[in-house]
Amino acid sequence: MRITMIGSGYVGLVSGACFSDFGHDVICVDKDESKIAALEAGRMPIFEPGLDKLVAANVAAGRLSFTTDLKSAVAGADAVFIAVGTPSRRGDGHADLSYVFAATREIAEAVTGPTVVVTKSTVPVGTGDKVEEILAELAPDMDIAVVSNPEFLREGAAIGDFKRPDRIVIGTEDARAMQVMRDVYRPLYLNESPILFTGRRTAELIKYAANAFLATKITFINEIADLCEAVGANVQDVSRGIGLDNRIGSKFLHAGPGYGGSCFPKDTLALLKTAEDYETPVRIVEAVVQVNDNRKRAMGRKVIRALGGDGTTGAKGKTVAVLGLTFKPNTDDMRDAPSLAIVQSLLDAGVTVRGYDPEGMEPAKAMMPDVTYCNNAYEAATGADAVVIVTEWDVFRALDLKRLAGVMAAPVMVDLRNVYPPAEVERAGFAYSSIGR
């Protein structure tokens, strides 16, 4: 099969590389010339474990290539995937579809024969209908079916998620498109990954419902964690105690500083906008968005209290080492990372912030210029009045606690990811606080 992937960002690049690894011929397109040049030279624009090797192997096998020339990439393709960004629109939180529609118009001009246009970008309900209208208007003589095929991969585990998905959702009622999509996903089909065929609008909504549900699960356990702290219970045991119930499930019940990233914050907001437009409020998701927003700054206040302040004042002149800046481990993505709000509230309180992250320091420097960036956890902690674990990178899971305490001005640790057993940290001389324990 010949597959064209428009947009070589996270989803486009991972999907394109994985499709080529299935044996398809894939061309990844992007407008950004420097990105395409870098990819051609074997340099990845994002940090994703295993992606560089996967790309190199498939480029070498002649199945994967990169171009800025959309027109030639689209001509003759069996399937054209749209995997461009759908950021939150400034001002109102709706998903910004301008890149999706611009790509659609370019596809209409480039298409030469029957094809299937597949939206992989996360797009609000009804976007497929609009894509279809644009194609019908600009390429009226072409046989083009429009399919929704949302992506459920997680950053940091994207290749595994793509190759061993819990399910594949395909929104189309067109028989030819169904067959093309079956062929596209044939290797997974043979692996017995469930393929769910639905209406196109349903597929679009499944994506938002899945992310909103997961964001709700996290926010639920975060509030239960606060309650645990108030009543003297342990949230990790609560998570285990409820998660063993198959109806609840144990995943996504890790209490922490609030969810971040490029998906949950933007997709929950976009779902609220859709619900508002259709006058069908989703109050639970409204509460989730608000609770999660408040939580990030509340984490800043928690750190200030650990420094002896009252939550907003009383920490002036102190120094804090922030370990982990990205929104989660194994990515260099800083989008909506809890560290951004936490660091800002510390700076607002007059605290000096030193930071270290294994992969995220370059993007972090641009977003948080007032932080002193260090080369490792111990350097960051040197002279600090507290260390805060914000992101649970593996390198922070087995710190030499005695050594860490030894370089600090005062041995105080705030562990926002519950990485350590409290007794172990306290034995090393730390005043230790964590989440919901």
For position 9 contacting ligand UGA by CB under 6 A, the verdict is no
For position 265 contacting ligand UGA by CB under 6 A, the verdict is no
**Residue with smaller CB distance to ligand UGA, 147 or 288:** 288
Pick one of 259, 373, 378, 393: the residue that binds ligand UGA (CB under 6 A). Answer: 259
For position 12 contacting ligand UGA by CB under 6 A, the verdict is no
- Least distance to ligand UGA, CB of residue 337, Å: 7
Total Cβ atoms within 10 A of residue 15: 25
For position 220 contacting ligand UGA by CB under 6 A, the verdict is no
Residue type, 356: Y
Q: Which residues of 314-325 are buried (b: 16+ CB within 10 A; e: fewer)?
A: ebeebbbbbbbb
Pick one of 327, 378, 430, 432: the residue that binds ligand UGA (CB under 6 A). Answer: 327
331 neighbors 48 (Cβ within 8 angstroms): yes
**Residue with smaller CB distance to ligand UGA, 296 or 318:** 296
DSSP at 394:
G
Q: Applying CB under 6 A, which part among 53-61, 80-88, 187-195, 253-261 lies near ligand UGA?
A: 253-261
Q: How far apart are alpha carbons 77 and 67 in whole angstroms?
A: 14
Residue nearest to ligand UGA (CB): 263
Q: How far apart are alpha carbons 318 and 12 in whole angstroms?
A: 44
Residue 258: left (phi > 0), alpha (psi -120 to 50), or beta?
A: left
Count of all residues that appear for the chain in the document: 437
**Residue with smaller CB distance to ligand UGA, 70 or 103:** 103
Q: Residues 92-131: x/- map of binding to ligand UGA (CB under 6 A)?
A: ------------------------------x---------
- Least distance to ligand UGA, CB of residue 10, Å: 7
**Residue with smaller CB distance to ligand UGA, 136 or 287:** 287
Task: Show the CA angle centred on residue 358, arms to residues 39 and 43, nearest 5°.
Answer: 10
- Least distance to ligand UGA, CB of residue 82, Å: 15
* Active-site entry in 18, 28, 228, 263: 263
Q: Applying CB under 6 A, which part among 102-110, 172-180, 190-198, 252-260 lies near ligand UGA?
A: 252-260
Q: How far apart are alpha carbons 321 and 343 in whole angstroms?
A: 10
Q: How far apart are alpha carbons 35 and 50 in whole angstroms?
A: 18
The secondary structure of 133-198, three-state, reads HHHHHHCCCCCEEEEECCCCCCCCCHHHHHHCCCCEEEECCCHHHHHHHHHHCHHHHHCCCCEEEE
For position 307 contacting ligand UGA by CB under 6 A, the verdict is no
**Residue with smaller CB distance to ligand UGA, 155 or 204:** 155
**Residue with smaller CB distance to ligand UGA, 12 or 261:** 261
Residues that bind ligand UGA (CB under 6 A): 122, 151-155, 211, 214, 218, 252-254, 256, 259-261, 263-264, 267, 327-328
